[in-house]
Amino acid sequence: MKRYIFQRIGYMIITFFIIMTISFVTMKLLPGSPFKNQDKLTDQQLEIIMEHYRLNDPIPIQFFHYVVDFFKGDLGMSFQFKNQAVTDIILDRIQPSAILGLEALLIGVIFGLILGIFSGLKHNTFWDYGTTTLSVIGISVPSFVFAGFMQYFLAVKLGWLPVAYWEGWKYHIMPALSLSFVVISTIARYIRMEMLEVLGQDYMKTAKAKGLPNKTIIIKHGLKNTLIPVITILGPLAISILTGSLVIEKIFAIPGIGEQFVVSITTNDYPMIMGLTLLYAAFFIIIVFVIDLLYGIVDPRIKLGGENN
Amino acid sequence: MNKDYLLEVNNLQVTFKTNNTEVHAVRGVNFQLKEKETLAIVGESGSGKSVTAQSIIKLISEPPGKINNGSIFYKGEDLLTKPERYFSSIRGKEISMIFQDPMSSLNPTLKIGRQIAETIIRHEKVNKETAYKRTIELLKLVGIPNPEKRIDQYPYEFSGGMRQRVMIAIALSCNPKILIADEPTTALDVTIQAQIIELLNDLQQKLNMSTIIITHDLGVVANMAHRVVVMYGGKVAETGTVDEIFYQPKHPYTWGLLSSIPKLDSKEKKLIAIDGSPPNLANPPKGCPFAPRCPYAMKVCIEQSPGIVSSSDTQKTACWLLDEQAPITDTPETARIEG
């Protein structure tokens, strides 16, 4: 097990550097320059700035310097914010994004589980059809549409919730909900399917023949087995929350990383783009790793890295 | 309700609803089980034997299944009038069950020890520690070596025969009065089958319980049973003691079953089989269900259900051949068992 974890971490680092290289090169291939738009600069001033940030060097040299700085823990200075290091901006803005993401994931998983179990148990009834319909809507309609609807009805028309900003718990409700719809719907669908499958299994009959109460049969014997495939989709779902939050943060004017990402791309803020890409990449890589570990915990038949008893 | 019997099933009728049709899986089955007795229910696939057994502790899923009629007396009370809550208190405690396929009957994600101990904790008022102590004893009892280590393992770490032993340990964990074994050896290979049968025989004597064994293997019947119920097309064709069924069978279906046992000294090169296939129980025949396959069938067999004829205190046969007006038919040569 230990050996497996170390091996995986080795691969994760390699993956991380491949992503770093590819993002750096493709970013440089983007048209435009970070300073061209600022028309107050003379050609000479522009030249000095470009030289200062080593933007005139060949790309491999620039990348070499970037990697060296990276190992020193320096992701460079932002081009658009004066005297602000990328690391400081990230640390400053990561909190709202992380909280929003976790809230959405939590709401999604909890309600997805409840709805899924419920419609699996009551399958082919009115409740089941209702849940299925809702989850199809939740999966196919993008989160920003929900966001717009909620802003219009809950905030503008009814005035129950604030339209935007990030100042207290009331401000969390709409963005977290709009991000979680996809999670709720996907998890509910998977759980329902799995629940139906598991309910027909022989070991459920064994559990009943033991005289266990229904609740115990479903929770202790059924649920763990339904969760195994659901873990698989948690990764893609966490990623969809991340990408969804890019837009949602913009819509609700939440001072998070997602919003910053969008701005930095439109202004060619190279160090900022790189910093955020690496942050996201690290996050994805870690999520995939954690999910593989979770498999081993939930399903005893899966032995990580060919370990023996 | 007769006081001699521990369990008495009367006129049991079970149906299953599929899309448009209703399958009459069990159509008026009667049998009795005495204390410390082993009763075998024999029949081919689809004869209703498993459904009958599962109905006793209401294990069939409702819907689509439904027990339409009949009574099941256990200790003087009709189980079919009891609420669901009552069933969960006797399942696993008074009447327990083991199933055909030990590979899928154990929960793959829970440790063996826990799967056994949870039954004990559910029915006996004991703490976890005592339950696990008892679990280890049970595993020893069913012949699993190294039980202290094995309780922390998962089903995938056990072979098929070992898993069936675990299932037996679960079934016996609360000293049940009745053990229902639904084809317990069908999914196992032959050498293991013999071990499991031996174990079941051994345990029955040790624990003083009654056993209902469902099987289509007449070898199992000969090794285990005191009495036999032969089922066909959702009905009982013939019942009797194991000697009566093997040496004086009266029903042509029983003859067919006995004829199809391969015999070592037979000059015949081919195995004998019963021609045709079982009736479609979505549309059950009004006469004897075996009539279409029966070489002795008469006109009356197709038109009317046969009455039950007792040829001894213990042997009852549902066949028109035993009617006074029927031609005298003797057991065919192939169905005779040398004894």
A265-292 per-position pLDDT tens digit: 888 888 999 999 999 899 889 988 988 8
A88-270, CATH topology level: MetI-like fold (1.10.3720)
pLDDT score of A69 more than 60: yes
CB of A308 less than 8 A from some CB of B: no
Residue A188's pLDDT is 92
CB of B165 less than 8 A from some CB of A: no
| Interval A79-107 mean pLDDT | 88
Chain A residues 179-218 with CB within 8 Å of chain B: 201-203, 205-214
pLDDT score of A308 more than 80: no
**Binary contact (A206, B59; C-beta < 8 A):** no
Phi and psi, residue B46, nearest 5°: 85, 10
Residue A54's pLDDT is 82
Contact partners, residue A206, CB within 8 Å, separation at least 6? B99, B105, B106, B107, B167, B170
Listed by start position, the domains of chain B span: 254-335
Q: Which residues of chain A make contact with B187, given a CB cutoff of 8 A?
A: none
The pLDDT confidence band at residue A109, using thresholds 50, 70 and 90, is very high
Closest CB to B89 among A208, A209, A211: A211
Task: List pLDDT tens digits, range A158-194.
Answer: 888 888 888 888 888 899 999 999 999 999 999 999 9
Closest-CA distance, A308 to chain B, in angstroms, reads 11
Residue A41's pLDDT is 78
Q: In chain A, what is the straight-line distance between the N-terminal and C-terminal CA atoms, in Å?
A: 11
CB of A309 less than 8 A from some CB of B: yes
Residue B240's pLDDT is 93
CA nearest neighbour of B35 among B224, B176, B154:
B176
Low pLDDT (below 70) residues in chain B: 1-3, 266, 268, 338-339
Residue B226's pLDDT is 92
Q: Which two tokens stand for residue B253?
A: 């279906």
Q: Which residues of chain A make contact with B89, given a CB cutoff of 8 A?
A: 211
Residue B274's pLDDT is 84
Chain A residues 225-244 with CB within 8 Å of chain B: 225, 228
Could you count the other beta carbons within 10 Å of the beta carbon of residue A231? 17
CA nearest neighbour of A208 among B329, B66, B92:
B92
Residue A38's pLDDT is 65
Closest CB to B92 among A205, A211, A301: A211
**Binary contact (A205, B59; C-beta < 8 A):** yes
Closest-CA distance, B178 to chain A, in angstroms, reads 13
CB of B247 less than 8 A from some CB of A: no
Listed by start position, the domains of chain A span: 88-270
CB of B23 less than 8 A from some CB of A: no
Q: Determine the Cα–Cα distance for residues B11 and B29; give it in Å rounded to an integer.
A: 5
**Binary contact (A205, B123; C-beta < 8 A):** no
Query: CA-based angle A239:A243:A245, to the nearest 5?
Result: 115
CB of A142 less than 8 A from some CB of B: no
* Mutual angle of helices A2-29 and A270-298, in 10-degree steps: 150
Contact partners, residue A266, CB within 8 Å, separation at least 6? none
Closest CB to B91 among A211, A221, A301: A211
Rounded to two decimals, the pTM is: 0.79
Closest CB to B154 among A205, A208, A301: A301
pLDDT score of A16 more than 50: yes
Closest-CA distance, B101 to chain A, in angstroms, reads 8
Closest-CA distance, B278 to chain A, in angstroms, reads 26
Residue B304's pLDDT is 87
Tell which of B18, B107, B178 to mutate to test the A interface (max A CBs under 10 Å).
Answer: B107
CB of B124 less than 8 A from some CB of A: no
| Interval A226-237 mean pLDDT | 85
Q: Which residues of chain A make contact with B90, given a CB cutoff of 8 A?
A: 211
CB of A219 less than 8 A from some CB of B: no
